[in-house]
Amino acid sequence: MHGPLADGTLSGPTGQRSKASKVTVRIAVALVLAKGATFYFTGSSGILGSALDSFFDVLASLLVLWAVLAAERPADAAHPWGHGKAEGLASLFQSLVILASGLGLAVHTMNRFAHQDEEGLTQAPIGIAVMVISSAVTLWLVKYLRRVARETGSPALEADSKHYASDLLMNLGVVCGLTLSWLLSGAMWPDLLVGVAISLIILNTAREVFLAAISILMDRGLRPREASAILRAVAKFSPRVAGFHDLRTRRSGADIFLELHLDLNRSMSFVEAHDLSEEVAEAIERALPNSNLTVHADPL
């Protein structure tokens, strides 16, 4: 009955999503280059883990960019509900990429434990400085992604923000490991312990992103705060609207599709019932941006 209110043009939330995705890709590429060079000079397992994670961040962020650009395409004959599910697919692929990253780091760290006598940690101060700078950049990116995800309702950007939030914790953990190794005259065990901890964090992040993606693809209903927004919007039309029933919802990327039946006085004319339904639909769409609403008027 109604299309998206704020998601139909590139100057609105849709443009915000694609812009945020492009910014994320650029930052991810810069971080992987900086961390890769730092690992070359330091030999730090923790930095390698962070660099490896940043490399997979690039792949994941490219997937998010593809998903956002695909989701921005308008509905067509082949996809009458739009292309928003692309964001759910991107989140699912993200979880697999993150899983591979965590497993790869775990294997590398175990090998380093078994061959600690072959090489030691060098140039720890350089590694510490690079990781502190990386942490600051990642903190800014997390705040930026969270803001855009909140404003646009994008599940792909929300997953990306969680991913980079775990990266921030990893970076801080690497700093702690490097600092301890440096203070202990190049001892390897603190850095290796951080490598193990990072791999566990990565694996847990993969689990969370996977479950969130499955939830999106399986058409999970509204969040409690969204359902409350509908109740408040309809309640404003009392007593002209006695209530509603048969509310059905589904999510497709940042878009929300809703269908409900309004309970209206049977003495209303067809035109009056239609106009009131339109008013209720507009109120709900204001309360829930990016919503697509179908309203049925039932006589009471």
Across residues 104-110, what is the average pLDDT?
A: 74
Q: Where are the domains of the chain?
A: 13-217, 224-299
Query: Mean per-residue pLDDT for 277-289?
Result: 85
For the cut 50, the answer to whether the pLDDT of residue 172 exceeds it is yes
253 or 110, which is more confident: 110
Can you read off the two tokens belonging to residue 227? Answer: 């359902």
For residue 10 the two structure tokens come to 């590139």
Domain 13-217 classification at class level:
mainly alpha
pLDDT of residue 50: 74
Residue 287: which residues within 8 A CB-CB, separation 6 or more? 229, 230, 232, 233
Q: What is the CATH code for 224-299? A: 3.30.70.1350
Q: Which residue(s) pair with 258 in the sheet?
A: 249, 293
Q: Which of 110, 109, 91, 88 has its CA nearest to residue 99?
A: 91
SS3 call for 264: strand
Confidence check: pLDDT of 14 > 90 = no
Please check the confidence at residue 253 and state whether its pLDDT lies above 70: no
Q: Is the pTM of this model over 0.85?
A: no
